[in-house]
């Protein structure tokens, strides 16, 4: 697993218990995954070959960008008014209720929603118009 800090020249091996700041990105290579705890009962888990960035974090809102791969959002508890926003290359999803959500970005394969699939096991998602994806460097190696 690698991480990239805003302003860094290259990706580096991520260390355990790394505190994330807006602009940070995490990448998993083959046969790797990671988990980020966002609250006492809320977790974000990424499968292999996934790149996820923390875009912004405020008191009642956290915003992620999924550039590639598959990420699960296990939001076991959320206070009323709290939101988790997930942007992909072609869609933005806002999680407003506790639940288990999976978002996947696939390359060059037809899927039901261009570029992204959201599969809530329970809970609800609200689809928003696409945003222009920002750019961050791609990792050159798997860690």
The predicted-structure confidence for 77-95, as pLDDT tens digits, reads as follows 899 999 999 999 888 889 9
Q: Which domains does the chain have, with CATH numbers?
A: 2-128 (2.60.120.1440)
Reply yes or no on whether the pLDDT at 109 is more than 90. no
The DSSP output letter for 53 is E
How confident is the model over 13-39, as a mean pLDDT? 89
- Whole-angstrom CA distances from 127 to 14, 27, 47 are 32, 25, 23
Task: For the chain, give the percent of residues with pLDDT over 70.
Answer: 74
Answer with the residue of higher pLDDT: 45 or 9.
45
How confident is the model over 24-40, as a mean pLDDT? 90
User: Is there a contact between 3 and 137 (Cβ–Cβ < 8 Å)?
Assistant: no
CA atoms within 13 A on the CB side of 53: 23
Reply yes or no on whether the pLDDT at 123 is more than 60. no
User: Is there a contact between 70 and 102 (Cβ–Cβ < 8 Å)?
Assistant: yes
């Amino acid at each position: 697993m690698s991480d990239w800090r805003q302003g860094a020249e290259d990706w580096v091996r991520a260390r355990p218990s790394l505190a994330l700041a807006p602009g940070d990105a995490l990448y998993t290579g083959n046969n790797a995954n990671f988990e980020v705890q966002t609250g006492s009962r809320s977790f974000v888990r990424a499968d292999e070959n996934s790149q996820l960035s923390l875009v912004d974090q405020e008191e009642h809102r956290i915003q992620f960008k999924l550039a590639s791969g598959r990420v699960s959002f296990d939001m076991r508890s959320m206070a009323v008014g709290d939101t988790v926003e997930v942007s992909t290359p072609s869609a933005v999803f806002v999680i407003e209720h506790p639940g288990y959500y999976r978002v996947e970005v696939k390359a060059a394969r037809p899927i039901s929603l261009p570029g992204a699939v959201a599969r809530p096991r329970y809970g609800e998602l609200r689809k928003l118009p696409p945003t222009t994806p920002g750019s961050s460097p791609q990792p050159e190696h798997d860690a």
